[in-house]
Amino acid sequence: MAMSDLRKGPFHLTNTLTRRKEEFIPLRPPHVGLYVCGPTVYSDVHLGNVRSFLTFDVLYRWLTHLGYKVRYVRNITDVGHLVDDIDEGEDKIAKRARLERLEPMEIVQKYTNGFHDVMRLFNILPPSIEPTATGHLIEQIEMVKRIIDSGFGYEANGSVYFDVPRFSEHHAYGELSGRRIDELLANTRDTEGMAEKRSPLDFAIWKKADPIHLMKWPSPWGEGFPGWHLECSAMSTKYLGRTFDIHGGGMDLKFPHHECEIAQSVAADGIAPVRYWMHGNMLTVNGRKMAKSEGNGFTPEELLTGNHKLLEKGYGAMTVRFFMLQCHYASTLDFSNAAMQAAEKGLERMMAALSTLDKLRATGSDDAGVAALEQRCYDAMNDDLNTPVMIAELFEGVRLVNSIHDGKIAIDPNGLDRLRTLFRTLTNDVLGLRQEQRPDTDDRTLDAMVQEFIRMRAEAKARKDFATSDRLRDQLASWGIILKDTKEGTSWERA
Amino acid sequence: MAMSDLRKGPFHLTNTLTRRKEEFIPLRPPHVGLYVCGPTVYSDVHLGNVRSFLTFDVLYRWLTHLGYKVRYVRNITDVGHLVDDIDEGEDKIAKRARLERLEPMEIVQKYTNGFHDVMRLFNILPPSIEPTATGHLIEQIEMVKRIIDSGFGYEANGSVYFDVPRFSEHHAYGELSGRRIDELLANTRDTEGMAEKRSPLDFAIWKKADPIHLMKWPSPWGEGFPGWHLECSAMSTKYLGRTFDIHGGGMDLKFPHHECEIAQSVAADGIAPVRYWMHGNMLTVNGRKMAKSEGNGFTPEELLTGNHKLLEKGYGAMTVRFFMLQCHYASTLDFSNAAMQAAEKGLERMMAALSTLDKLRATGSDDAGVAALEQRCYDAMNDDLNTPVMIAELFEGVRLVNSIHDGKIAIDPNGLDRLRTLFRTLTNDVLGLRQEQRPDTDDRTLDAMVQEFIRMRAEAKARKDFATSDRLRDQLASWGIILKDTKEGTSWERA
């Protein structure tokens, strides 16, 4: 165990490569290398994407909290991701550029900005490095060369393919996703690019570009662009080394994307790239998978405004965050209005307890069970990031806070300090929760209250009670509200 | 003139290449290509940088407002910018990485995030494309090849230099910055790299990397990295074409950076890259240049909090924006507390007029001079982005708004509509101004007012006036404020 605070216990996580919960032992403590597959920036992020990034945000926050120095790399896919997710069809970004009549890099910028806005909204921390596929073409070309040199890649008509059958003769292709070469072969259909490939299982690591293609670069095999799987291998190797600690992504990326990443690294550098693979599960809506084609993949903006047929009302970003954290990352999570409204109330109770904590006074002679509560919270998080159990423990804490506030339970000063630290650390730093921002609502409330004071002042004036009317004006001024009397009535502004 | 609305008149800007105010005629209307030198992301942005980016933000907003479709490219320099701004010394980012014990790309990410936060704070719009130097190595290597092929570049010991004397025999080197080759030669000092250079005026377009160097890539000349000036030439060519409309940057970039950009493009592609060069002037503090070494280069955060010895108090981001726009971009601007406090009042008057506009009613029979006011505002902006004159005209508008409000002037419905559109468009869209955000202050004000209602309710209860105490509770509830009575008193929370 790397950390000094042994009470916190070792951290375990489910390694989807071994399908077992394992103790996490980093290669070079206190450093941890973490790579997470980021978005392909060709469309707006939907809520299912948010869940995946949130999972790894909590992992990053928890490892950091435990004292690890995490180098967290999350990429931006800005080239090479084809429409059908395999080797045929148009590049997703090039297609969108054609539809929006923009240069592909304008599409990349627009949706990268949008992605960052959504991450900020949900308080998902930025990674240490956010590399782009187009920013690492030389590294990708060098990796293709190494794969060809190792005998597991071949050129055909200006493209370069990864030779899956030959690779699987020497290495375990399919280990991560539990697929077998013979089954995969039985299930493949013929595709356009087949003529060039020796086997339908082979995948492109470099694709020849059509003359009209906008996103292309010179290479030893002519003008082209990298295959989708290659970027993650090249960038994780560059920033985290040939083998690193944790690789994360959504479950849908296990095959072919992550399987191909492993094959590429083993072929190029002779070593398995990742020690712990971690996959987040899906978000469903009323029991059905969230997807644009289903019409249920609502955007964060629709969620906040409630402007979608499946939404009874709008929900705040922190409510959504809290809702998602009440489910374990490896389980599917179903989005429903009832669950969201329950989460809204739960978050409010937790935030109210945080305020109440400030007002408590220590009058007792023991810690009222805080040390044991703390241990249970740490045990939950160290058990494969079990946020729902940890949140349930925090609600025990909420009850304790309220009982102390009501004078039913007494706590000593050390216990109270520890309770405050525990609550703030776990809710704000680890779960990344904060008070919901509602500036518009507050603006309306503020105005309504000022209008009421203006009305009371007018009443006082009408009955010639100038002492009261002046007092009200001065009181408002002391709060930074300046009244202006005109012949059309009284208005106000901030001082 | 490209636009349909002739009333708005042609746009003129000062071309720093010709040193004349010229009518702006884009190459391919309605499209405009705009390139602006972005930050080198190795330290926090200071207020002088903000001024420069604000200048081009207003240019971008104005061109967009005039109806042009602007492709605005602003780069991120993440490699190649050496400490002494010429060809010697350490890479600025590599040096900071060494000091902060981080990987260079972690430094890049950290300060890119910080830069984006500052841009958002000052409401400076993101560009259409924000390319990075490391993201365009292949394009830069290709450009070095073209420069060598044209005879204006030569390799020496793994580096490639631009041959300034040979270039100046055929082309006008120094035209932009008004420098002459003989004067430059007389003023150069010997430097470390001299042994490799044929002339001290030559500059690196590709630098050989030391073995310990972290930021390096393979090239036809061995492992190395691009020269600082090269990235802007390569990226502007890629995204805007070999010749494009406007290139902007701070005055300090005129020489050598922009001069070298021109030379590189002419050498590589045989054509001058830019039709209109535009340079913003400096920000000074109490008459002295803003610089970190002077101790007066305060960060945006210091400015907002007032936590700096030169600041009497904190100023809001919109106040700073307004302050800067009250000066023409080509003039030096001096930062002082007195000027900031005047700007604060001015911005408040303008924002108050925007609210007042909503309440006005049209009762007159003419437009009260709005058409003429509008024309004067457009004339000012079309005259080389003369924001101070335009703001002075808007203050004429503020007086008009207040006179209409006070019943001293009448306006007809069309005039009032036009006045509203003019104000909103120019203040919000073109100048990018909005109400200063003060959530903390509002929170305190809100709480103070709720406490006053709680006090009034307690008084009513004490005198057994339960009708009043219930009415007050219900009134607060209708505003979204829920009271909770406990034995320790009454607290409140949002509904």
**ipTM surpasses cut 0.90:** no
Q: Is A204 exposed, middle or buried (0-12, 13-18, 19+ CB in 10 A)?
A: buried
CB contacts < 8 A, A to B, total 108
Closest by Cβ to A128, choosing from B109, B134, B488: B109
Closest by Cβ to A446, choosing from B129, B446, B486: B446
Task: Say what the pLDDT of residue A192 is.
Answer: 54
* Angle at CA of residue B323, ends B319 and B326, nearest 5°: 140
Shortest Cα distance, chain B CAs vs residue A464, angstroms? 21
Q: Which of B435, B430, B440, B397 is nearest to B416 (CA)?
A: B397
Q: Is the backbone of residue A101 left (phi > 0), alpha (psi -120 to 50) or beta? A: left
Could you tell me the CA-to-CA distances from B220 to A8, A260, B146, B158, B401 in Å, in that order? Answer: 53, 31, 13, 9, 67
Residues of B in contact with A449 (CB under 8 A): 446, 449-450, 453, 479
CB A388 within 8 A of CB A328: yes
Residue pLDDT, tens place only, B128-149: 999 999 999 999 999 999 999 9
Between CA A111 and CA B114 the distance in angstroms is 19
Between CA A76 and CA B201 the distance in angstroms is 40
Residues of B in contact with A128 (CB under 8 A): 103, 106, 109
Closest by Cβ to B134, choosing from A116, A135, A439: A135
Residue A169: band (very low, low, confident or very high) from pLDDT cuts 50, 70, 90: very high
Q: What is the mean pLDDT of residues A372-389?
A: 97
Closest by Cβ to B103, choosing from A71, A116, A480: A71
Residue pLDDT, tens place only, B420-475: 999 999 999 999 999 887 656 667 778 888 888 888 899 999 999 999 998 888 88
Please provide the DSSP assignment of B304-351 as one string: HHT-STT-SS---HHHHHHHHHTS-TTS-EEE-HHHHHHHHHHHHHHH
Task: Say what the pLDDT of residue B435 is.
Answer: 85
Task: Say what the pLDDT of residue B475 is.
Answer: 84
Choose the weakest-confidence range: A93-107, A343-357, B109-123: A93-107
Task: Say what the pLDDT of residue A168 is.
Answer: 96
Residue of A nearest to B128 (CA): A106
Residue A190: band (very low, low, confident or very high) from pLDDT cuts 50, 70, 90: low
Per-residue pLDDT for A292 more than 80? no
Residue B125: CB atoms within 10 A of its CB come to 16
Helix, strand or coil, per DSSP, at residue A248: strand
Closest by Cβ to B448, choosing from A218, A352, A479: A479
Residues of B in contact with A209 (CB under 8 A): none
Residue of A nearest to B445 (CA): A479
Task: Say what the pLDDT of residue A3 is.
Answer: 42
Task: Say what the pLDDT of residue B6 is.
Answer: 45
Cis peptide before A256 (omega within 30 of 0): yes
10-residue block means of pLDDT along chain B (495 residues)? 55 97 96 96 90 97 96 94 70 84 92 96 97 97 98 97 96 93 81 77 93 90 95 97 97 95 98 97 87 77 86 92 97 94 95 91 95 96 98 98 96 96 96 80 76 89 91 84 80 75
Residues of A in contact with B448 (CB under 8 A): 478-479
Q: What is the mean pLDDT of residues A202-231?
A: 93
Q: Which residues, 6 or more positions from B270, have their beta carbon under 8 angstroms from its beta carbon? A: B150
Between CA A113 and CA A106 the distance in angstroms is 11
Residue A194: band (very low, low, confident or very high) from pLDDT cuts 50, 70, 90: low
| Contact assignment for B441 to A116 by CB distance below 8 Å | no
Residue A410: CB atoms within 10 A of its CB come to 16
* DSSP run (H or E) holding A470: helix A466-478
C-alpha gyration radius of chain A: 28
Residue B374: CB atoms within 10 A of its CB come to 21
Q: What is the mean pLDDT of residues A445-470?
A: 88
Q: Which residues, 6 or more positions from B233, have their beta carbon under 8 angstroms from its beta carbon? A: B143, B261, B264, B265, B268, B273
Q: Which residue has the higher pLDDT, A83 or A264?
A: A264
| Contact assignment for A105 to B239 by CB distance below 8 Å | yes
Residue B423: CB atoms within 10 A of its CB come to 22
Between CA B359 and CA B356 the distance in angstroms is 5
Residue A413: band (very low, low, confident or very high) from pLDDT cuts 50, 70, 90: very high
Q: The tokens 């002088």 sit on which residue? A: B48
Task: Say what the pLDDT of residue A330 is.
Answer: 97
Please provide the DSSP assignment of A113-148 as one string: HHHHHHHHHTTPPPPSB--BSGGGHHHHHHHHHHHH
Instruction: Report phi then psi at A443, rounded to 5.
Output: -60, -45
What sign does the dihedral B332-B333-B336-B338 (CA atoms) show? positive
Q: Which of A99, A93, A114 is nearest to A49 (CA)?
A: A114
Residues of A in contact with B33 (CB under 8 A): none
Output the six-digit token pair for A342: 């329950």
Q: Which residue has the higher pLDDT, B64 or A437?
A: B64
| Contact assignment for B113 to A126 by CB distance below 8 Å | yes
CB A430 within 8 A of CB A54: no
Closest by Cβ to A445, choosing from B103, B131, B480: B480
| Contact assignment for A105 to B129 by CB distance below 8 Å | yes
Residue A439: band (very low, low, confident or very high) from pLDDT cuts 50, 70, 90: low
Please provide the DSSP assignment of B401-424 as one string: HHHHHTTSS---HHHHHHHHHHHH
Shortest Cα distance, chain A CAs vs residue B105, angstroms? 6
* DSSP run (H or E) holding B60: helix B47-65
Residues of B in contact with A109 (CB under 8 A): 126-130
Shortest Cα distance, chain A CAs vs residue B400, angstroms? 16
Between CA B405 and CA B359 the distance in angstroms is 8
Which of the 8 DSSP states describes residue A435?
P
Residues of B in contact with A103 (CB under 8 A): 71, 128-129, 239
